[in-house]
Structure 1
Amino acid sequence: MRQECIDTIDTQTAPQLSWGQWAKTGARMVKADVLQLVTLLWTWHERSRQRFKMRQMSDDILKDIGRSRADIEKEAQKPFWKA
């Protein structure tokens, strides 16, 4: 049964990519993956930095922005990968 499915693919009309086209496509995919990874790492870094900075704020500043020390501690306890 499986062999019949494979036989129905017409390889004569399928576009044949050159080695250069395969390489360009692969490079684009790798570039997109690396960019996504760098963006994720930057997001995690910023989240961690912001939580650290919030912990450094005085109670007066927290009161001005409508947050309590307990709110900040709860947020700061989260792992960097959680929003």
Structure 2
Amino acid sequence: MTCSDLLSIPLSHDRESGTIKARFNRVIALLRCWHSRARERQQLAAMGSLAWRDLGLSDVDVRQEVNKPFWR
């Protein structure tokens, strides 16, 4: 399940999602996803332009990705 999936499902989506444990687990999963995004963007920023080119990314692509907030 992606971060977007976690955000798009209402907390009252099904019987189990309404429980405190299910809601807590979704919040924890979302926080982990956001943390992972932030870490990956930091790692991308730390790479050099040669590595970006190997990945098929331009400086502009990297700058746009790195400057996104963690929730996007």
* Structure 1 segments (4+ residues) deviating >3 Å: none
Residue identity (%): 35
Q: Which has the larger radius of gyration?
A: 1
Give the Cα separation in 1 of the matches to 2:35 and 2:44. Answer: 14
Q: CA RMSD in A?
A: 1.1
Match of 1:4 in 2: none
1:61 to 27, 48, 51: 51
The TM-score, its normalising length taken from structure 1, stands at 0.63
Aligned residue-pair number: 55
Q: TM-score, with normalisation over the residues of structure 2?
A: 0.72
Tell me, which stretches of 5 or more residues in structure 1 are unaligned? 1-27
